[in-house]
């Protein structure tokens, strides 16, 4: 399968290393790729719970058991460490797109020996722009949710649910964050609990909204 055909059929792209630093290429990718139809999911452990252009930053890329594409904006050492961690955890690793600077002989050898499909030596953003590549069947913009620990001293959990595109700066200890797709598919404890609270005739989105605290 060519890069072009693969990318036109991809709907969700996890951007590994995309945090709040606006000077980083991973952050700029969200502006550069705007309007191309991808559900872009930023992943950055330190900045998780905040947003980039209304997309919640996740602490890891495994809210879904079936991710499609990881675009990695990390050093070779950090890239190799993550790949080893994922393989040891028996994760279903999707296609890996190594941004220039993320690859090394050790990283490429590991990917090849593990049988993980990958691309290197080409920038994902530049490839899409130069070849006018977009998602041919984009997902709708999705609402998203976050659960934090209350900062008023009672240690209670606070669940909030936001319309698509809402921006937030993390304002309390993070317990969980993700969009509606993550909420539907994640096997983590909090999404499973929220799904268990769905009432008869109620959609998951309606349940998430019902459980949320009123906006300020």
Whether the per-residue pLDDT at 170 is higher than 60: the answer is yes
Q: How confident is the model at residue 194 (pLDDT cuts 50, 70, 90)?
A: very high
Domain 3-130, what fold?
Answer: Rossmann fold (3.40.50)
Q: Which residue matches tokens 């240690």? A: 155
Percent of the chain with pLDDT over 90: 91
Looking at residue 133, its pLDDT comes to 96
* pTM, two decimal places: 0.94
Residues 6+ apart with CB under 8 A from 98: 72, 79, 107, 118, 119, 120, 121
Mean predicted confidence (pLDDT) in 27-39: 95
Structure tokens at 79: 């890239």
Looking at residue 215, its pLDDT comes to 58
Whether the per-residue pLDDT at 187 is higher than 80: the answer is yes
Q: How confident is the model at residue 64 (pLDDT cuts 50, 70, 90)?
A: confident
Q: How confident is the model at residue 146 (pLDDT cuts 50, 70, 90)?
A: very high
**For residue 178, what are the β-bridge partners?**
145
Percent of the chain with pLDDT over 70: 97
Looking at residue 3, its pLDDT comes to 56
Four-residue CA torsion sign, 73, 78, 79, 84: negative
Mean predicted confidence (pLDDT) in 131-142: 96
Domain coordinates in residue numbering, the chain: 3-130, 144-211
- The answer to whether 36 and 135 are in contact (CB under 8 A) is yes
Rg from Cα positions in the chain: 18
Looking at residue 1, its pLDDT comes to 43
Four-residue CA torsion sign, 15, 17, 21, 24: negative
CA distance 43 to 55: 10
Whether the per-residue pLDDT at 216 is higher than 70: the answer is no
Q: How far is CA 158 from the centre of its chain?
A: 22
Structure tokens at 159: 């669940």
Mean predicted confidence (pLDDT) in 78-101: 97
Whether the per-residue pLDDT at 151 is higher than 90: the answer is no
């Amino acid at each position: 399968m060519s890069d072009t055909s693969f990318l036109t059929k991809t709907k969700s792209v996890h951007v590994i290393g995309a945090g709040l630093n606006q000077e980083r290429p991973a952050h700029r990718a969200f502006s550069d790729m705007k309007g191309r139809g991808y559900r872009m999911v930023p992943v950055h452990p330190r900045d998780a719970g905040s947003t980039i252009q209304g997309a919640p930053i996740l602490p890891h890329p495994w809210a879904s058991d079936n991710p499609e594409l990881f675009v990695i904006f990390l050093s070779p050492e950090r890239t190799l460490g993550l790949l080893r961690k994922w393989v040891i955890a028996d994760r279903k690793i999707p296609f890996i797109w190594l941004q220039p600077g993320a690859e090394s002989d050790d990283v490429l050898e590991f990917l090849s020996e593990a049988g993980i499909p990958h691309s290197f030596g080409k920038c994902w953003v530049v490839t899409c722009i130069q070849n006018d590549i977009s998602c041919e069947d984009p997902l709708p913009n999705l609402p998203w949710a976050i659960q934090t620990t209350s900062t008023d001293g009672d240690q209670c959990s606070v669940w909030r649910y936001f319309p698509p595109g809402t921006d937030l700066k993390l304002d309390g200890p993070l317990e969980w964050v993700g969009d509606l797709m993550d909420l539907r598919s994640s096997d983590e404890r909090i999404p499973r609990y929220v799904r268990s609270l769905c009432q008869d005739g109620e959609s998951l989105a309606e349940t998430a909204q019902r459980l949320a605290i009123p906006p300020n």
